[in-house]
Every structure is written in structure tokens, then in C-alpha cells.
Amino acid sequence: MKLLRNCSQLVTCNNEDQTPKTGDSLKRLEMIEHGALVFEGETIKWVGNESDVATQFADARFEEVINANGMLVTPGLVDPHTHPVFAATREDEFYMRNAGKSYMEIAEAGGGIRNSARRLRQANEEVLFQNGIRFLNRMLRSGTTTAEAKSGYGLSTESEVKSLEVIQRLNGAHPIDLVPTFLGAHEFPDEYRSDREGYVRLLIDEMIPLVAKRKLAKYCDIFTEAGVFDIEQSRRIMSAAKQHGFELKFHADELKSVGGAELAAELGAVSADHLVYASDEGIARMAKAKTIAVFLPSTTFFLGHRDYAPARKMIAAGVPVALATDFNPGSSCNTSLQATMTIAAIYLKMTAEELLNAVTFNSACAIGMQKQVGSLQSGKLADFVLWDAENYKQLPYFFAQNPVTSVYKRGQRVV
């Protein structure tokens, strides 16, 4: 057994009933001042006040005592929306946007996701794997210990499978636990621009059944957006995915209000993500269906857009909310949930307590991992982060600096 002690605040993000936090439980941050934590192997055995350790573990001899030096400790962060498998970065598009071209103009001229697809199809698996390791290392150093990972830069059966196999290999090779998502419906590839129905059929008849049969992904996701997959195409593709046993996620209402939030609720999706232009009707339906809203404010920030997701309205409506980086080479080249929290504090007007719940317990719920991670509770994985911060309010406040001092994943020190 090992003991973690001398924490100024041990933020547990505890939630007894294992359902996503809304209302008062979202506003409240569960923590223990002068807390301590005991773990054995990869599992948490006990969490409580340091003053109780002596009586609780009177006869125990700890093989290691970790001194947090009076600093803040939180659960390992959970990033529920990332695109870490790509062949090449796209910094040129960043400067094109800043010079006045819009995201959609670049996409329609063959850039954006299709640019990444052309590069990924030519890349061998080893390049994709090494790129993945490089960026997962950055995530881990920023305190992320569990993440969702999407395919979606292949846009052909062969290259989507290749991407999902790389995610599987990364999951085995890297300390971060990855939850795989199939995102073949990310864009229409070059060869189907004038035969969109042909690509929808390829997704429904070939890719979805194959990915399901080979158990390469837990979730199926789609870019439901004006100019990409419309509502009817989205309904057909995602209904097929559901029939094949996938749980559903949506890129919804990012650039225009197209009814993505409504469709996500209608099909019982676990989450709808982005939601910058979610309608009032969509918000009400998501609240009723308990569809989690995953906000990606670093994308809005990185695209230089003015409008952010209506987080306050959604929280008030009772929608469960989470935060993610949307790490990808185009619209959000950000690996740090801490940076995302800062942007969400400023532009989504979320409180420190909401922000912490949104990158831990609620984000674990958004990828179905809340029984294993997302809070520091007996029986869960010993995933935690020691921060050079005196209290949790300093995390979103320390801007563009990384106060992580150590990261423990499954009971092992990995940073």
C-alpha cells in the first residue's frame, strides 16, 4: 500500500450515484482539506482526512509515502473529445485564417479535414503511431490521464481501420487510457464530392459493420453541419451505427444551427459536442434526454470566432456539461485541459467548481468511464495529479503555464 499525504486540498470530485452532475452538484466541488489517499497497485483503497490515517491504518506499513508538499491534488483529468491520429500538422491554415480566410472557405478549397485525409492515406502506421505518442505525452504532462480518441482523417474503409488500429496500439503503449471513436463521417472525401450518397452508403453498408465486427470502437461520431453531413444523412448513418451496437456522439451545431442537438437527443446520444449554435429546442431536448454537452471552447478561440457555446443557458436548463480540448491539427491544436478551463472561465462564464467537475467526473461520464476514473473514490483507479497550486481556483487562473508537478496513472508515477 502507498500513502499520499500533505495535500492542501484533495479535490475528489466525488459523486455517489455515478450520474453526470447537474444543478447543485455541478456547482459544488467535493474536496477534503488536508486530505490523504491510500492506494494499492492501481486501485484507490481509502480517501479521507490525513488526521484519520493513523487510526484507520494503525497496523499498516506503507511501502511508499508521497508528500504533496502542501499542494493541490485532483483526479487525473479526462479529455472526452480528441483527434490525435493524423499524419501532419496544418499550421499554414492557422495563418490563412488569421489573414482572413474562413474555416469553411479553406475546407471547400480542399484544405481542412480533406487535407489531413490525403496525408493520412499516404502515411504508414508507424508515422501515425509516433505522432500519437508525441502528442499524448503532451496531454499527460498537462495532467490528462484518460482520453477519448477519434479516427476521421482516413475517410476510406482501409484508412479508417488503419487509424483505429493505431488508437488501439497507442492505448496499449502509452499510460493514457484511450476510448476509441469511429468518425468516418467527418467529411466527404475527395472522390465522393459529387456522389455524396455513395459515401453515405459506404459508411452504412461497409465501414460501420466492419468496425463493429472488429470491435475497433466504442462510439460512432459524425460532423453534422451545414455543408458536411445534413440532418437526414446524419439520422440514417447514426441509426445504422446504433443498430450495430455503437453508442453515439455528435459534432453538433458548431458553425450553424442545423438541429444537431435535437437529433443527438432524439437518438439517445451519450454526448453532443461543440453546440455553439444549439437552439432552445435542442437544449430543452438534451436536458430531457440527459445528453451530455461537451463544450470545446479552445476551438472557438483558435478559430478566432466571436460566438461561444451558450453554456450558462444550458447549465440553467439542467443539461449535464463537460469540457474537452478537441485536440486536432486544424481547428484546435491544444493538448491542455487546463488551457481549456481558462478559456471556458472567460468565455463560457463557468465557475471554478463547474470547470473542475467538467474536466473530471462529467467528462468521464461523457465517455462511459465514470466507474473507473473521474473522481478519487475507493475502488477507482489511482489516477491523480499533483499541482504547484495552493487551491483549485488557481488552476484556470494560472494562464498559459503548466503547474503540473507529478502525474500518477494506475498507481504509477508517469510524470
Query: Which residue, 162 or 186, has its beta carbon nearer to Zn ion?
Result: 186
Q: What residue is closest to Zn ion based on CB? A: 326
Q: Is 405 exposed, middle or buried (0-12, 13-18, 19+ CB in 10 A)?
A: middle
Q: Could you give the CA distance from residue 233 to residue 259 in angstroms, rounded to a whole number? A: 12
Using the contact rule CB under 5 A, the part of the chain among 97-105, 122-130, 326-334, 379-387 near Zn ion is 326-334
Kindly tell me which residue out of 326, 353, 354, 383 binds Zn ion, with binding defined by CB under 5 A.
Answer: 326
Using the contact rule CB under 5 A, the part of the chain among 33-41, 300-308, 325-333, 363-371 near Zn ion is 325-333
Count interface residues toward Zn ion (CB under 5 A): 1
Strand, coil or helix: what is 337?
A: helix
Query: Which residue, 302 or 408, has its beta carbon nearer to Zn ion?
Result: 302
353 interacts with Zn ion by CB under 5 A: no
Query: Which residue, 177 or 326, has its beta carbon nearer to Zn ion?
Result: 326
Query: Which residue, 50 or 326, has its beta carbon nearer to Zn ion?
Result: 326
**In angstroms, what is the minimal distance from the CB of 398 to Zn ion?**
26
**In angstroms, what is the minimal distance from the CB of 370 to Zn ion?**
21
Using the contact rule CB under 5 A, the part of the chain among 25-33, 158-166, 280-288, 322-330 near Zn ion is 322-330
Query: Which residue, 321 or 386, has its beta carbon nearer to Zn ion?
Result: 321
Query: Which residue, 160 or 326, has its beta carbon nearer to Zn ion?
Result: 326
Q: Is 147 exposed, middle or buried (0-12, 13-18, 19+ CB in 10 A)?
A: buried
- The residues, ordered by sequence, that sit 6+ positions from 179 with a Cβ below 8 Å of its Cβ are 146, 147, 148, 149, 218, 219, 367, 368, 369
**In angstroms, what is the minimal distance from the CB of 221 to Zn ion?**
8
Strand, coil or helix: what is 144?
A: strand
Query: Which residue, 75 or 152, has its beta carbon nearer to Zn ion?
Result: 152
**In angstroms, what is the minimal distance from the CB of 251 to Zn ion?**
5
Q: Could you give the CA distance from residue 258 to residue 266 in angstroms, rounded to a whole number? A: 14
Residues 40-69 that bind Zn ion (CB under 5 A): none
Please report the DSSP string for 81-92 in residue order: -B----SS--HH
- 300-335: string of b/e by CB count within 10 Å (b at 16+)? bbbbebeebbbbeebbebebbbbbbbbbbbbbbbbb
Pairing of strands 271-274, 247-252: parallel
- The residues, ordered by sequence, that sit 6+ positions from 220 with a Cβ below 8 Å of its Cβ are 181, 182, 183, 185, 208, 211, 237, 238, 241, 242, 246, 247, 248, 249
Give the position of cell 440553467: 316
**In angstroms, what is the minimal distance from the CB of 39 to Zn ion?**
33
Query: Which residue, 326 or 383, has its beta carbon nearer to Zn ion?
Result: 326
**In angstroms, what is the minimal distance from the CB of 81 to Zn ion?**
6
**In angstroms, what is the minimal distance from the CB of 276 to Zn ion?**
13
Residues that bind Zn ion (CB under 5 A): 326
